């Protein structure tokens, strides 16, 4: 079995394995997201957007993703999974520049819709291809891929923060980053698994809505994504308003939360091999609930930050494992991934707003008590990750090395 270190050597020598290639694809995808996030204040200043108008602009990427995700499997079927991943990653990289280059505020809406649509479609096809590479490798890799997504986002976010601090205009910054990431993605795409002819009758539906099995998996992802999205958006505010932290400590809460998620995802594949997906998500849910309880009861910065760190560890592996299970839940990996991705994006949309409403109506601790209850759904619904009987007899076009990974524990 080839290690990540050996694969890195192969990459330097010019021979790229599918595992390295799909890892770079995930990192590039995360870097695009992290780059734009750091320049939102620049967009707000340039177009003189108030909070209400900026909120509407920020709804557009999620709306675009929700529109694009259900048709992504069909695109992958027509173009081939490898080609679709390369094309949609290129489109996602290219979509980074238009928001900054928009001539007026009104142009931000279609630019952000396009940004979200390409993001969502690429998210679906690259996760479906990640499932295929995982089968080919005969070992869990999905959690590590999502960890690389986090690393890409953190690195690009750090670069964007430096650019913003230096007063660099976002137009050349984002245009240059888009060009570099597009080139990196194009090189990485060459090493993806080749497309295989799909058997007759395996085409996904034109507009794929989640089936019963995918809905059960989506419930696990919804709980984890809700806790993740709410914590990520409200951690700094909670530290300031409840724990009495200064600006530096408040900002550190999000950084620690995101870093704990990234590290846990990078270690997650080894944990899957040891515990199996069901047991791992159950124990992760217990950690998330413990972290949430610590946040709710904390009235000082240190225990609150410790709670957010536990929350980050607890929610980290659930979404990658949900994607992997959805990709193995039926004859078409892209359709299952599209279903759970759509549910997750609905959670991403709902979590920050619902948390704010509860905090406004009751209190911040009450809002995080709700988030803790949501995290408790992870261990309760974890049985949906149990490998299905039919997944053990995958269709022939998946290949001899395509047995599902993980165990029923």
pLDDT digits (tens, 9 = 90+) for 80-105: 889 999 999 999 999 999 999 999 98
Q: From CA 289, how far away is CA 69, in angstroms rounded?
A: 30
Q: Are 335 and 210 in contact (CB under 8 A)?
A: no
How far CA 139 is from CA of 87, 101, 134, 136, 264, in Å, comes to 27, 43, 6, 8, 17
Given this model, what pLDDT does residue 202 score? 54
Token duo for residue 196 = 């295989």
Rounded to an integer, the average pLDDT of 295-324 is 92
Tell me: pLDDT of 271 over 80.
yes
Q: Are 116 and 63 in contact (CB under 8 A)?
A: yes
Lowest mean pLDDT among 23-27, 47-51, 132-136, 200-204: 200-204
Given this model, what pLDDT does residue 388 score? 62
How does the average pLDDT of the chain come out, rounded?
82
Given this model, what pLDDT does residue 371 score? 93
Q: From CA 145, how far away is CA 321, in angstroms rounded?
A: 11
What share of the chain has pLDDT > 90, as a percent? Answer: 38
Q: Give the burial class of 206: count Cβ atoms within 10 A of its Cβ; 0-12 exposed, 13-18 middle, 19 or more buried.
A: exposed
Token duo for residue 283 = 């124990």
Token duo for residue 66 = 């929700």
DSSP assignment letter at 231: H
Domain limits at 55? 7-189
Q: From CA 331, how far away is CA 351, in angstroms rounded?
A: 32
113/235 same-domain check: no
Look at residues 111, 110, 108 and name the one whose alpha carbon lies nearest to residue 54.
108
244/173 same-domain check: no
Look at residues 60, 69, 64, 315 and name the one whose alpha carbon lies nearest to residue 210.
69
272/333 same-domain check: yes
Neighbours of 364 (CB within 10 A): 21
What share of the chain has pLDDT > 70, as a percent? Answer: 85
Given this model, what pLDDT does residue 209 score? 55
Helix (H, G, I), strand (E, B) or coil at 128: helix
216/322 same-domain check: yes
Is position 38 within any domain? Answer: yes
Q: From CA 70, how far away is CA 74, in angstroms rounded?
A: 8
Q: Which residue has the higher pLDDT, 161 or 319?
A: 319
Q: Residue 216: which pLDDT band, with cuts at 50, 70 and 90? A: confident
Tell me: pLDDT of 338 over 90.
no
Lowest mean pLDDT among 6-15, 111-120, 195-204: 6-15
pLDDT digit string, tens, across residues 10-28: 444 345 788 999 999 999 9
Lowest mean pLDDT among 59-63, 210-214, 351-355: 210-214
- For the chain, the farthest-separated pair of C-alpha atoms sits apart, in whole angstroms, at 62
Q: Which residue has the higher pLDDT, 393 or 163?
A: 163
246/340 same-domain check: yes
255/361 same-domain check: yes
Given this model, what pLDDT does residue 334 score? 67
Is position 346 within any domain? Answer: yes
274/177 same-domain check: no
Tell me: pLDDT of 63 over 70.
yes
133/220 same-domain check: no
Given this model, what pLDDT does residue 255 score? 82
Residues 6+ apart with CB under 8 A from 217: 322, 325, 326, 329, 336, 340, 384, 385
Is position 64 within any domain? Answer: yes
CATH number at residue 278: 1.20.1250.20
Q: Residue 315: which pLDDT band, with cuts at 50, 70 and 90? A: very high
Q: How many CA atoms lie within 13 Å of 396's alpha carbon, on the beta-carbon side?
A: 3
Given this model, what pLDDT does residue 128 score? 87
Is position 397 within any domain? Answer: no
How far CA 82 is from CA of 60, 68, 185, 249, in Å, comes to 28, 18, 12, 43
């Amino acid at each position: 079995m080839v290690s990540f270190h050996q694969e890195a050597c192969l990459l330097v020598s010019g021979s790229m394995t599918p595992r390295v290639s799909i890892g770079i694809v995930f990192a590039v995808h995360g870097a695009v997201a992290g780059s734009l996030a750091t320049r939102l204040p620049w967009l707000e200043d340039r177009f003189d957007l108030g909070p209400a108008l900026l909120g509407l602009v920020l709804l557009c990427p999620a709306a675009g993703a929700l529109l694009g995700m259900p048709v992504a499997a069909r695109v992958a079927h027509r173009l081939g999974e490898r080609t679709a991943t390369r094309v949609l990653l290129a489109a996602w990289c290219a979509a980074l520049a238009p928001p900054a280059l928009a001539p007026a505020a009104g142009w931000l809406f279609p630019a952000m819709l396009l940004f979200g649509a390409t993001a969502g479609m690429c998210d679906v096809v690259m996760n479906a291809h990640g499932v295929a590479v995982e089968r080919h490798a005969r070992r869990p890799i999905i959690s590590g891929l999502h960890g690389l997504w986090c690393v890409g986002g953190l690195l690009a976010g750090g670069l964007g923060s430096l650019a913003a601090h230096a007063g660099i205009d976002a137009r050349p910054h984002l245009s240059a980053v888009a060009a570099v990431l597009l080139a990196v993605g194009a090189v990485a795409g060459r090493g993806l698994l080749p497309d295989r002819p799909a058997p007759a009758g395996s085409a996904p539906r034109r507009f794929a809505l989640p089936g019963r099995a995918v809905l059960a998996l989506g419930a696990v992802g919804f709980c984890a994504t809700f806790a993740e999205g709410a914590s990520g958006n409200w951690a700094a505010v909670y530290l300031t308003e409840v724990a009495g932290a200064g600006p530096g400590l408040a900002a550190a809460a999000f950084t620690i939360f995101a870093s704990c998620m990234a590290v846990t995802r990078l270690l997650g594949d080894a944990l899957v091999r040891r515990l199996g997906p069901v047991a791992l998500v159950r124990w992760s849910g217990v950690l998330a609930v413990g972290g949430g309880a610590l946040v709710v009861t904390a009235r000082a910065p240190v225990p609150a930050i410790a709670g957010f760190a536990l929350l980050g560890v607890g929610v980290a592996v659930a979404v990658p494992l949900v994607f992997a299970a959805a990709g193995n839940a039926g004859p078409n990996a892209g359709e299952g991934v599209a279903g759970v991705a759509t549910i997750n994006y609905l959670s991403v949309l709902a979590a920050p707003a619902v948390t704010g409403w509860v905090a406004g109506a009751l209190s911040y601790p009450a809002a995080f008590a709700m988030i803790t209850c949501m995290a408790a759904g992870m261990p309760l619904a974890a049985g949906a990750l149990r490998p299905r009987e039919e997944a053990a007899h995958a269709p022939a076009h998946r290949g001899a090395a395509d047995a599902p990974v993980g165990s029923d524990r």
